[in-house]
Amino acid sequence: MQVTIHAAKTNLSKLIDAALSGEEVVIAKGKKPVAKIVPIAQSTFTIGLLKGKVTGKGPDFFEPMESGDLGLWEGVD
């Protein structure tokens, strides 16, 4: 659907609902399209999603590296 700026100001809530339901909403200045109302993708990330499911011990980044690994890291043979 294409609406004028005046109609967009008057019906903004309805236009947002239309965009959320999948309809393409274009705002035009006169007959020239200038903007589009699109929904923002909602994040589905949940903090703590894997809490209690990850087992084992990961690397300890605060422990000193072995000399061979440290040499590789520093570019020394």
Instruction: Please write the tens of the pLDDT for every residue from 2-28.
Output: 999 999 999 999 999 999 999 999 999
- Which residue in this structure is represented by tokens 């008057």? 10
Task: Extract the tokens encoding 59.
Answer: 């690397």
At residue 77, the pLDDT reads: 63
User: What is the b/e burial string over 56-73, where b = at least 16 CB atoms within 10 angstroms of the residue's CB?
Assistant: eeeeeeeeeeeeeeeeee
pLDDT tens string 24-47: 999 999 999 999 999 988 877 777
More reliable by pLDDT, 58 or 52: 52
**pTM of the complete model beyond 0.85:** no
Phi, then psi, of 34 in degrees rounded to 5: -125, -20
Question: What's the order of all strands across the beta sheet hosting 2-4?
Answer: 2-4, 25-29, 32-37
